[in-house]
Amino acid sequence: MFGKEVYIGRRKKLAALMHESGKENGRGIAVFLGNTDAPQNYRGNDYKFRQESSFLYYWGIDEPGFAAVLDLDSGDETLYGNDVDIDDIIWMGPQPSVASKGEKAGVPHTAPYAEFFEAVRNARKSGRPVHFLPASRYYNTMMLSEIMECPAENIRKTAPAYGTRETAASLELTRAVISMRLVKEACEIEEIDKACEIGYLMHTAARQACKPGVKEQDIVGIMEGVTISKGWGVSFTTILSQNGETLHNHSHHQVITPGRMLLIDAGAESNTHYASDFTRTLPCSGKFTSKQRDIYDIVAECNELAYSLAAPGVPYREVHMAVAAKMLDGLKTLGLVNGRIDDMVTEGIAGLFMPHGLGHNMGIDVHDMEDLGEDLVGYDDDQQRASQLGLGSLRMARRLKPGHVITDEPGIYFVPALISKWKAEGTGKDMVNYGAVEQYLDFGGIRLEDDLLITEDGCRRLGPHRLPISADDVEAAMA
Ligand code: GLY
Ligand code: MN
Dist. CA 124–CA 210, nearest whole Å: 58
Task: Tell me the CA distances in angstroms from 207 to 15, 27, 280, 476, one per residue in order.
Answer: 47, 54, 9, 11
What are the backbone dihedrals phi and psi of residue 85, each rounded to the nearest 5 degrees, phi first? -110, -175
What is the topology classification, in CATH, of domain 4-182? Creatine Amidinohydrolase; Chain A, domain 1 (3.40.350)
pLDDT-based confidence at residue 158 (cuts at 50, 70, 90)? confident
Residue type, position 479, single letter: A
What are the backbone dihedrals phi and psi of residue 216, each rounded to the nearest 5 degrees, phi first? -55, -40
Ligand 1: does its nearest atom lie under 6 Å from the Cβ of 197? no
Give pLDDT, residue 438: 98
What would the mean pLDDT of 357-383 be, rounded to a whole number?
97
Task: Tell me the CA distances in angstroms from 410 to 36, 305, 354, 429, 447, one per residue in order.
Answer: 37, 10, 7, 24, 6
Distance 12 CA to ligand 2 centre (A): 32
Q: 8: which residues sit within 8 A by CB, 6+ positions away?
A: 106
Distance 446 CA to ligand 1 centre (A): 14
Ligand 1: does its nearest atom lie under 6 Å from the Cβ of 113? no
Residue type, position 111, single letter: A
Ligand 1: does its nearest atom lie under 6 Å from the Cβ of 277? yes
Q: pLDDT above 70 covers what percent of the chain? A: 98
Ligand 1: does its nearest atom lie under 6 Å from the Cβ of 236? yes
Work out the number of other CB atoms within 10 angstroms of the CB of residue 43: 9
Dist. CA 296–CA 280, nearest whole Å: 10
- Name the 3-class secondary structure at 49: coil
Exposed, middle or buried: residue 127 (CB in 10 Å: 0-12, 13-18, 19+)? exposed
User: Ligand 1, residues 240, 362, 367: which to mutate, most atoms within 8 A of Cβ?
Assistant: 367
Q: What is the pLDDT of residues 194-220, one digit of tens each?
A: 999 999 999 999 999 999 999 999 999
Q: Mean pLDDT of all residues in the chain?
A: 95
Dist. CA 54–CA 32, nearest whole Å: 8
Dist. CA 286–CA 258, nearest whole Å: 8
Ion ligand 2: residue ranges with CB closer than 5 A: 277, 407
- 78 touches 66 (CB < 8 A): no
- Name the 3-class secondary structure at 393: helix
Dist. CA 214–CA 305, nearest whole Å: 34
Indicate whether 250 pLDDT > 90: no
Q: How far apart are the first and last CA of the chain?
A: 41
User: Ligand 1, residues 203, 239, 263, 451: which to mutate, most atoms within 8 A of Cβ?
Assistant: 239
Total residue count of the chain as it appears in this document: 479
What are the backbone dihedrals phi and psi of residue 429, each rounded to the nearest 5 degrees, phi first? -65, -25
Q: What is the pLDDT of residues 305-343, one digit of tens each?
A: 999 999 999 999 999 999 999 999 999 999 999 999 999
Task: Tell me the CA distances in angstroms from 290 to 49, 244, 295, 387, one per residue in order.
Answer: 46, 18, 9, 35
Q: What is the pLDDT of residues 287-306, one digit of tens each?
A: 999 999 999 999 999 999 99
Give pLDDT, residue 362: 98
What would the mean pLDDT of 82-96 be, rounded to a whole number?
93
Indicate whether 431 pLDDT > 60: yes
- Name the 3-class secondary structure at 70: strand
Q: What is the pTM of this model?
A: 0.96
pLDDT-based confidence at residue 20 (cuts at 50, 70, 90)? confident
What would the mean pLDDT of 117-127 be, rounded to a whole number?
93
- Beta strand residue intervals within 213-329, DSSP E: 233-234, 239-241, 261-266, 268-269, 278-283
Q: What is the DSSP letter of 371?
A: G
Distance 390 CA to ligand 2 centre (A): 14
Residue 453's nearest CA partner among 303, 358, 312, 250 is 312
Domain residues of the chain, as ranges?
A: 4-182, 186-478
Work out the number of other CB atoms within 10 angstroms of the CB of residue 95: 13
Ligand 1: does its nearest atom lie under 6 Å from the Cβ of 265? yes
Dist. CA 169–CA 333, nearest whole Å: 50
Residue type, position 396, single letter: M
DSSP of 409-474: --EEE--HHHHHHHHHHTTTTTTB-HHHHGGGTT--EEE-BEEEEE-SSSEEESSSS----SHHHH
How would CATH label the architecture of 186-478?
Alpha-Beta Complex (3.90)
Dist. CA 296–CA 444, nearest whole Å: 11
User: Ligand 1, residues 196, 241, 277, 393: which to mutate, most atoms within 8 A of Cβ?
Assistant: 277
Dist. CA 397–CA 377, nearest whole Å: 9
What would the mean pLDDT of 462-473 be, rounded to a whole number?
97
Q: What is the DSSP letter of 33?
A: E
